[in-house]
Structure 1
Amino acid sequence: MERIERIHALHRILTAARYPVTVQRLQEDLECSRATVYRDLAYLRDYLMAPVVGNGEAGFRYDTSEGDRFELPGLWLSSEELHSLLAAQQLLMRSGGGVLSNALAPLQQRIEKLLDEHAGGRRLPVERVRVIPHRTRRLDETAFRAVATAVLDRKQLTFEYRARSTDQRTRRSVSPQRLTHYRENWYLDAWDHERDALRSFSVDRISAAKIGEDTARDVADDELDQHLASSYGIFSGAPKGWATIVFSAKAARWVADEHWHSQQQGRFLPDGRYELKVPYSAGRELLMDVMHYGSDAEIVEPVVLREQAKSMLELALSNYGR
């Protein structure tokens, strides 16, 4: 339990208590050490000005004459909520000087106010929190605005698409469904009218986008989730199979805490290695993620995916044989 959560829990316990609460019970309820209980009680009493009375022998409670009136000051956020606010602030600061600066200024001020309230009057050194973009792709801002507008206004969209795999240009006419931010990049999930099927498009490969007059065809959320979220990665579809990857004991410490897929299955093997199973449709993105771990990862099944990984590694090795 994190400190903010403990302070909340401690406040609830003391507020509800009719008799002094022993340190032993506080240790059990807060899942912390005896020393931590005393530190939290001191913080609650000395910094937050809570009416804490009592001692280590008899126990602690709120003074009955003041306890009913005491409330925790300011806004209290969990670590996840605080992280989200700080990340949002950093992202807003990165937009400074662009067309969004004036429009986002009130939001920036609101976030700063929330952070001030959380700090209880102290200044949070937010400049010590950094959000660093990783492997972002350059977007055509005009195309991005057209895509986003078509998604929100529910209008059909036409554009030129340059496929990364073949480098071929095609003209597409689609009904936009969702705009998805995934791994620092933007993707358009849409119904492709020529192919009569759902497709995902990398927005950085879209150009000459034009919003049409016709209303976009809506695809049910269940169908979108089944086609686009049921398999591994952004380039998904109906799962064609499951991949089994075994990671070394060294890499297991990281992989066991990673979220690869909503339906993933993982377990530690007796020798300390970690076995991960994920459903996948197209293996390209999965292979790239597995290759990221180098010799610490091995694709066990299916055989076809294992052979593809082997071929990729052999081609990579050939680059160093000259």
Structure 2
Amino acid sequence: MASSFEAWSRRLKLLQLLVHRGHLQTADASRALGVERKIALDDLKKLELHGVPVSPQGDGTERSWVLEESWRKMGMVVGFEERLSLLLGRSLMESFLGGTDLGEAMKKLDTQVEAMSNEGLRLEAELARRFLYVREPEKDLSAHRDTVKALVEAVVRCHRVSFLYQHARQPRDVEKVSHAAPYTLAVYKRGLYVLVDRRDVITSHAVERITELTAHPKETFQFPYASDYDPHKRFANHVGLAHDGSPPETVRLRFTAEGRPYAESRVWMPNQRVEPREDGGCDVVFEAAGLELLARVLEYGDLVEVIEPPSLRARVRDTLTRARARYTDD
């Protein structure tokens, strides 16, 4: 996996050089990439194989790889939709990843794409006023730059990691995680989490609560096949990342007539169904598991009532009772 990422990073750099110069000798490509000529030659051939109109011309020391002139003049076409997609992607991610290498990579990619486009689209300042992402409460990972960088490297290269983890609700409870396999980095609630395999048990950890992270480059792991591990399927019937091991169960949320528009405009779970009621409200029904369903329900206040499961109904009632007790003096 790591070699694939590195290879296509090199090939993107070669493509930039070809667009800029029009031609490259294998020796030039080798020096620019800092790799052996054999690897540079293979990268040039791969560009040709994947549809880039570049071909070898000449013989011996005069042989060069030449990019088709019409394609070079056209450059890397970056249309309005593509430019806007980059802007929105940066707006969503850069706010909490801005102080990390990932955040800087987003800026760099934006600059590279703009430089490769002969249209000279410098619209970001204007687009940012016309398409707004409204900031939400988010985590600041700038102080955890080294941790983020090390985790990205470990995930890509399949290196095992060890670290200390401080639990949010029990700050004094520091857990030692040893030689775990970091499978996936996940973005959730404006934060970054790592999913690790700890002896066939997948656990999630907030990056900002990880300390003393150590990567073990000599201890690699085999990234599992999709049939054995697919995070998309794993969380298909799961609300959030926190999990107590309970299986999915039927959830029925009853919205008032005033709350119905909010219920119908949101997808709680892919398997949900909406059942209209005679009083103008509706029931939203789906199968799900996850401790964070409680917070989702509380967002809607008195517009929603949990009908089932009884365990969730009890948790909502107890939470509201404790919250109400804080305002008894008013």
- For normalisation by structure 2, the TM-score amounts to 0.63
Aligned to 2:15: none
Superimposed CA distance per residue, residues 77-129 of structure 1 (whole angstroms, 9 cap, x where no aligned partner): 66xx665333135468767787668755552235557999698x999822303
In structure 2, relative to structure 1, the CA distance for the partners of 1:211 and 1:131 (3 Å cut) is: same
What are the equivalent positions in structure 2 for 1:17-32 lying under 5 Å apart? none
- Correspondence 1:186 to 2:192: yes
Deviates more, 1:206-215 or 1:158-167: 158-167
2:186 and 2:195 in contact (8 A); partners too: yes
% identical equivalent positions: 23
Q: 1:233 aligns with which of 219, 240, 245?
A: 240
In structure 2, relative to structure 1, the CA distance for the partners of 1:273 and 1:115 (3 Å cut) is: farther
- SS of residue in 2 equivalent to 1:148: helix
In structure 2, relative to structure 1, the CA distance for the partners of 1:273 and 1:223 (3 Å cut) is: farther
- Correspondence 1:319 to 2:321: no
Aligned to 2:138: 136
1:232 and 1:278 in contact (8 A); partners too: no
Distance in 2, matches of 1:318 and 1:117, equals: 62
In structure 2, relative to structure 1, the CA distance for the partners of 1:122 and 1:98 (3 Å cut) is: closer
- SS of residue in 2 equivalent to 1:145: helix
In structure 2, relative to structure 1, the CA distance for the partners of 1:146 and 1:93 (3 Å cut) is: closer
Structure 1: gaps of 5 or more residues: 1-73
In structure 2, relative to structure 1, the CA distance for the partners of 1:244 and 1:115 (3 Å cut) is: farther
2:182 and 2:195 in contact (8 A); partners too: yes
Superimposed CA distance per residue, residues 165-207 of structure 1 (whole angstroms, 9 cap, x where no aligned partner): 33311100211111111221111111113xx411111222211
Shift of residue 315, structure 1, vs aligned partner:
0.6
Distance in 2, matches of 1:145 and 1:127, equals: 28
Deviates more, 1:169-178 or 1:211-220: 211-220
Aligned to 2:85: 84
Larger Rg: 1
Aligned to 1:147: 151
- Correspondence 1:221 to 2:226: yes
- Correspondence 1:304 to 2:311: yes
1:231 and 1:239 in contact (8 A); partners too: no
Aligned to 1:294: 301
1:77 and 1:118 in contact (8 A); partners too: no
Kindly provide the amino acid, as one letter, of the partner of residue 256 in structure 2.
S
Aligned to 1:156: 160
1:176 and 1:189 in contact (8 A); partners too: yes
Distance in 2, matches of 1:189 and 1:299, equals: 30
Distance in 2, matches of 1:178 and 1:101, equals: 18
In structure 2, relative to structure 1, the CA distance for the partners of 1:311 and 1:278 (3 Å cut) is: same
- Correspondence 1:126 to 2:130: no
In structure 2, relative to structure 1, the CA distance for the partners of 1:116 and 1:209 (3 Å cut) is: same
- Correspondence 1:267 to 2:275: yes
Aligned to 2:109: 107
In structure 2, relative to structure 1, the CA distance for the partners of 1:149 and 1:223 (3 Å cut) is: same
Measured on the aligned residues, the alpha-carbon RMSD in Å equals 3.3
Aligned length: 243
2:101 and 2:149 in contact (8 A); partners too: no
Distance in 2, matches of 1:238 and 1:182, equals: 21
In structure 2, relative to structure 1, the CA distance for the partners of 1:150 and 1:75 (3 Å cut) is: closer
Distance in 2, matches of 1:104 and 1:218, equals: 26
Aligned to 2:18: none
Shift of residue 286, structure 1, vs aligned partner:
0.4
Distance in 2, matches of 1:83 and 1:122, equals: 9
- For normalisation by structure 1, the TM-score amounts to 0.64
Aligned to 1:197: 201
